[in-house]
Amino acid sequence: MKFTLSWLKTHLKTDADLATILKRLNAIGLEVEGVENPAEKLAGFKIAQVLTAERHPQADKLQVLSVDHGDGNPLQVVCGAPNARAGLVGVFGVEGAVVPSNGMVLKKTAIRGVESNGMMCSTRELELGDDHDGIIELDAAAPVGQVYADWAGLNDPVIDVSVTPNRQDCMGVRGIARDLAAAGLGTLNAIIVPEIAGVGPGPDVRTDDVDGCPAFFARTVRGVTNGASPEWMSKRLKAIGQKPISALVDITNYIMFDLGRPLHVYDMASLKGGLVARKGKPGEQVLALNGKSYTVDEMMTVIADDEAVHDIGGIMGGEHSGAQDGTTDVLIECAYFTPERIAVTGQKLTLTSDARGRFERGVDPAFLDDGLSIATSLVVSLCGGTPSEATRAGTPPATPRTVVYAPDQCLALAGVHVPADEQKRILESLGFGVDGEASRVEYEDGMPVMVPGSWTIIVPTWRRDVDGWPDIVEEVVRIVGLDQVPSTPLPRGPGVARPTATPEQLVERRVRRTAAARGMAEAINWSFIAEKEAAAVGGGDWTLANPISEELKVMRPSLLPGLLSATKRNVDRSATSVRLFELGRRYFKQGERATVGFVLAGEKVARGWQAGKAQGFDAFDAKAEVVALLAAAGAPVGNLQNFGEASAAYHPGQSGTLRLGPKAVLAEYGVLHPSLAKQFGLTGTVVAGEIFLDAIPGKRKSGFMRAPYAPPALQAVKRDFAFVVPDMVEADVLVRGVKSADKKSIVDVRLFDVFVGPGVEDGFKSLAIEVTLQPGEKSFSQEELEAISAAVVKAAQKLGGSLRG
């Protein structure tokens, strides 16, 4: 909402300077978004008169002017404008002035060999209009030498405030003035509503849609002459960025910005019969003022005559029925449209307008008669004509609301004490009615007794937002100033702060920092991915109805696509080694699953003077990360079983899942399927993994005490075995088999060699393991060791293995 300082002062009598006004606007909730004084950019442009104009000796289209800019020393100026001539009074830019349209600094120069000092300007150069056919021609009586902006009344700061959706009353300059007056910055001038002596009956208007348009008031004015609006009006409209069109149109705009009251003026010559506010009919078209055609429906309110729809009620008028240059008879509409209906219609049509912005917030329902009178009076005074009586179809919802309020509630909710009489003053200055008595102290036998009081607050009709006592507190505190609210510490529990993190949060923190410590960089990728990316990792359950682009459309079922896209971007930026992880959610119909994903691509070890050639990643690098992150998350990694059957995202022969039991999949990992890597533009081996944090069983919290433990006194014994086993026997199966051969003595089994080749039959492989035996009270005897060895061999034999000879 924009307005100028002088415009504000038509409503507010104040001595406050601009800075004070701006500060107070912010303090009372009208956030100042910008202030601009057009005079500032016109500094250095003065009113000047052309004394003589001669042909330029070197150029046909140029003239050499002698320009008087008021100091008695006429300057020589070269000028190309066709209208430059002796006697013309225009706007002259002196040396050092900056031309607003292009930022050029004016200086003494020579044009085709002739000295030129400064410039006579066009309206476009000064950003005062679009005209560039010639230089500005002012009234011959304009005072030569005066600063142009001062003379033109442009030295008037334009203030732009952001009005929150609840403050419909501040969508007009008057509402802002009222707020400032309440906040102690002056007094609000009384509003003058002229009496209209109507001649003849009011126009034929009615409302058939009382839900959408409960009230439709109108008058006609016959015999008007439309033309340009007066300068005071067009100047204010221009200052706030509105283009003056004609007196009839400008009057409706002016009243909308001045009083927050949108109106519409119809050319009666374009109407067939009376006007009715009714619901739209399916398929009905309206050609609106913006030149676009809109299809309305039965959820929208339109204004129509016997033949056509002329107006999208409360949002935009029609192209053919508005006031034109030759208009002689007009109908002035002053209606009330239901905010909810306007909002829905505007959203459906994606059509915004200044009128919509006001009706949507809710205009003052008690201001229809006055608004219509003010508009009629302005039309008659600026365009002549004879007004009719008013037609008042329907009834606006203008019954004032009341709110029961106790002044103590200000302290209870806002924590600031404001004396009751001060509260009353504030509320009354904002237009609220205050009835009843505040709490008071009475004395019974000399003892003070508090008699609780309460007020009945009558809410002004222009404050649709106020409907409960907290609103009243808000009004009081806003005007008193939030800086008056004392900062009050929250009550604090005894002792030091208690831990607050949940087990899930602790797991996430540990996993995140473990991944970072292991050399991976945390990325945050979009939660939504392209449909084909989602399809490549199993398909997503949630597809947006209104995605911002095809690339960001499906809620990710896997963290891999986002990480792979990020990997590709890094590779394109010449990264040779990419280690990225993300901790985020995957989205399914059953819920959102906390997940860690990582991708390792490019070089694991760069070429070096020690390592030689660069080395890439392999599936076991992925496995190492998965196991480390699972351990950080508190998963029982020792008990996890490695299965195949990772998803189709992975190389079928170089991937796996880690499970707790056959069903609970805690993680999957491996070499990425080459076709998936290719889909993301990646070449070479890419390895990846995902850990499903929500599948990890929570640890039971059993206090800080650890299980009792003393390191064994006797040294552990290590024994190596090599078994030849069929190819299909998985290493892990052998290790587990051997481990369970003697659960008491065997504390660890570690596989340290795999061999296939000479000496090992085709279809078989040799697996070498190191078995750690821990004696208990006394050392193993030879017999015991032999018995354990035999049990180990037997366990291997069960799997088809034999001791390698």
Partner 1 sequence: MTEISALKAGLIADIAAADTLDALEALRVGALGKSGVVTGLLKTLGPMSPEERMDKGPPIQDLRESVTTALADRKAALEQAALDARLASEKVDMTLPADAGAFGSVHPVSQVMDELAEIFADLGFSVATGPEIEDDWHNFTALNIPETHPARAMHDTFYFPDEEGQKRMLLRTHTSPVQIRTMMNGTPPPIRIIAPGRVYRSDSDATHTPMFHQIEGLVIDKGITLGHLKWTLETFLKAFFEREDIVLRLRPSYFPFTEPSVEVDVGYTLANGQRVIGGDGDAADGGWLEVLGSGMVNRKVIAACGLDPDEWQGFAFGTGVDRLAMLKYGMNDLRAFFDGDLRWLKHYGFSALDVPTLSGGVGA
Q: Binding site: residue ranges?
A: 465, 471, 474-475
Among 104, 269, 449, 485, binds partner 1 (CB under 8 A): 485
Q: Which is nearer to partner 1, 167 or 659 (CB)?
A: 167
Query: Which of 214-222, 271-279, 506-514, 718-726 is the region at the interface with partner 1 (rule: CB under 8 A)?
Result: 506-514
345-384 residues near partner 1, rule: CB under 8 A: 347, 350, 360
Q: Does 718 contact partner 1 by CB under 8 A?
A: no
CB 169, min distance to partner 1, A: 13
Cβ pair 635, 614 in contact under 8 A: no
* CA atoms of 741 and 746, how far apart (whole Å): 8
Q: Check binding of 290 to partner 1 (CB under 8 A).
A: no
Euclidean distance between CA atoms 571 and 683, whole angstroms: 10
**Residue 612 binds partner 1 (CB under 8 A):** no
SS3 355: helix
Q: Which of 299, 517, 716, 790 binds partner 1 (CB under 8 A)?
A: 517
701 binding partner 1? (CB under 8 A): no
Determine contact, residues 438/379, Cβ cutoff 8 Å: no
Provide the residue type at 385 as one letter.
G
Q: How far is the CB of 614 from partner 1 (least distance, A)?
A: 13
Per CB under 8 A, the list member of 443, 444, 492, 763 interacting with partner 1 is 492
Per this entry, what is the length of the chain?
A: 805
The burial of 243, by beta-carbon neighbours within 10 Å (0-12 exposed, 13-18 middle, 19 or more buried), is given as exposed
Question: Is there binding between residue 77 and partner 1 (CB under 8 A)?
Answer: no
Among 266, 587, 617, 669, the residue binding partner 1 under the rule CB under 8 A is 587
CB 298 to partner 1: min, Å: 17
Q: Indicate the residue among 220 and 595 with the shorter CB distance to partner 1.
A: 595
Q: Tell me phi and psi for residue 551, to 5 degrees.
A: -75, -20
- The binder of partner 1 chosen from 253, 461, 514, 745 (CB under 8 A): 514
Minimum CB distance to partner 1, residue 567 (Å): 8
End-to-end CA distance of the chain: 93
From the CB of 299, what's the least distance to partner 1, in Å? 12
Among 509, 532, 718, 798, binds partner 1 (CB under 8 A): 509
Is 463 near partner 1 (CB under 8 A)?
Answer: no
Binding of partner 1 by 779 (CB under 8 A): no
Helix (H) / strand (E) element for 619: namely: helix 619-632
Best CA proximity match to 137, nearest among 34, 47, 14:
47
- Is 782 an interacting residue with respect to partner 1 (CB under 8 A)? no
Determine the interface stretch with partner 1 among 50-58, 141-149, 216-224, 491-499 (rule: CB under 8 A): 491-499
Task: Give the largest CA-CA distance in the chain.
Answer: 129
Residues making up the binding site for Mg(2+): 465, 471, 474-475
How many helices (H) and strands (E) are present in the chain, helices listed first?
20, 43
- Exposed/middle/buried for 43, CB within 10 Å: 0-12, 13-18, 19+? middle
* 500 binding partner 1? (CB under 8 A): yes
Residue 705 pairs in a beta bridge with none
Strand-pair category, 764-773 with 717-726: antiparallel
**Dihedral sign from CA coordinates of 12, 16, 19, 21:** negative
493 lies in the binding site for partner 1 (CB under 8 A): yes
What number of chain residues touch partner 1 (CB under 8 A)?
99
**CA atoms of 207 and 341, how far apart (whole Å):** 15
Residue from the set 73, 610, 639, 782 that interacts with partner 1 by CB under 8 A: 610
Is 344 a residue that touches partner 1 (CB under 8 A)?
yes
Instruction: Yes or no: say if 71 and 145 are a contact pair by the CB < 8 Å rule.
Output: yes
Among 92, 462, 528, 721, interactor with partner 1 by CB under 8 A: 528
Does residue 105 bind partner 1 (CB under 8 A)? no
**Binding of residue 524 to partner 1 (CB under 8 A):** yes
Q: Confirm or reject binding of residue 681 to partner 1 (CB under 8 A).
A: no
Q: Which of 61, 190, 447, 488 binds partner 1 (CB under 8 A)?
A: 488
Shortest reach from residue 22's CB to partner 1, in Å: 11
**Residue 225: exposure state from Cβ atoms within 10 A (0-12, 13-18, ≥19):** middle
- CA–CA distance, 753 with 767 (Å, rounded to integer): 6
* Angle, CA of 165, 169 and 174, to the nearest 5°: 140
Distance between CA atoms of residues 465 and 360, nearest Å: 12
Per CB under 8 A, contacts with partner 1 among 187-246 are: none
Q: How far is CA 297 from CA 274, 305, 345, 445, 541, in A?
A: 21, 17, 9, 72, 34
Residues numbered 405 to 434 that lie near partner 1 (CB under 8 A) are: 411-416
**How many whole angstroms separate alpha carbon 530 and alpha carbon 527?**
10
Q: In the complex with partner 1, which residue's Cβ is closer, 473 or 646?
A: 473
Q: Is 618 in the site for partner 1 (CB under 8 A)?
A: no
Q: Pick from 577, 641, 642, 679 the residue near partner 1 by CB under 8 A.
A: 577
Is 334 a binding residue for partner 1 by CB under 8 A? The answer is no
Treating both helix axes as pointing N-terminal to C-terminal, what angle do 173-182 and 247-259 enclose, rounded to 10 degrees?
30
Among 516, 714, 716, 754, which residue interacts with partner 1 (rule: CB under 8 A)?
Answer: 516
Q: Does 775 bind partner 1 (CB under 8 A)?
A: no
Which listed range, 117-125, 186-194, 462-470, 738-746, lies at the site for partner 1 (CB under 8 A)? Answer: 462-470
Binding to partner 1 (CB under 8 A) within 535-574 occurs at: 542-548, 552, 555, 562-563, 565-567, 569-570, 573
Select from 536, 585, 580, 588 the least CA-distant residue to 561: 536
Per CB under 8 A, the list member of 340, 428, 727, 753 interacting with partner 1 is 340
Cβ count within 10 A of residue 21: 23
Q: Which of 73, 102, 487, 639 binds partner 1 (CB under 8 A)?
A: 487
Q: Which of 178, 169, 168 is nearest to 10 (CA)?
A: 178
Of the listed pieces 137-145, 221-229, 581-589, 784-792, which binds partner 1 according to CB under 8 A?
581-589
**Least distance to partner 1, CB of residue 273, Å:** 33
| Contact criterion met (CB below 8 Å) for 751 and 769 | yes
Q: Specify the pairing of strand 577-588 against strand 521-522.
A: parallel
Q: Which stretch binds partner 1 (CB under 8 A): 143-151, 203-211, 335-343, 763-771?
A: 335-343
Map the footprint of partner 1 across residues 22-51, applying CB under 8 A: 26-29, 31
Count CB neighbours of 605 within 10 A.
14
Listed residue (360, 320, 324) closest to 342, CA to CA? 360
Rounded CA separation 18/12 (Å): 13
Residue 441 in the binding site for partner 1 (CB under 8 A) = no
Please give the residues from 304 up to 323 whose contact with partner 1 meets the rule CB under 8 A.
none
Strands (E), 628-685: 641-643, 650-660, 664-672
Which part of the chain contacts partner 1 (CB under 8 A), choosing from 139-147, 196-204, 443-451, 465-473?
A: 465-473
Of 124-183, binders to partner 1 (CB under 8 A) are 164-167
| Span interacting with partner 1, options 76-84, 375-383, 468-476, 726-734, rule CB under 8 A | 468-476
SS (H, E, C) 105-165: ECCCEEECCEEECCEECCCCCCCCCCCCCCCCCCCCCCCCCCEHHHHCCCCCCEEEEECCC
Distance CA 638, CA 736 (A): 11
247, 256, 580, 660: which one contacts partner 1 (CB under 8 A)?
Answer: 580
Bridge partners, residue 285, by sequence: 295
- Based on CB atoms, which residue is closest to partner 1, 281 or 513? 513
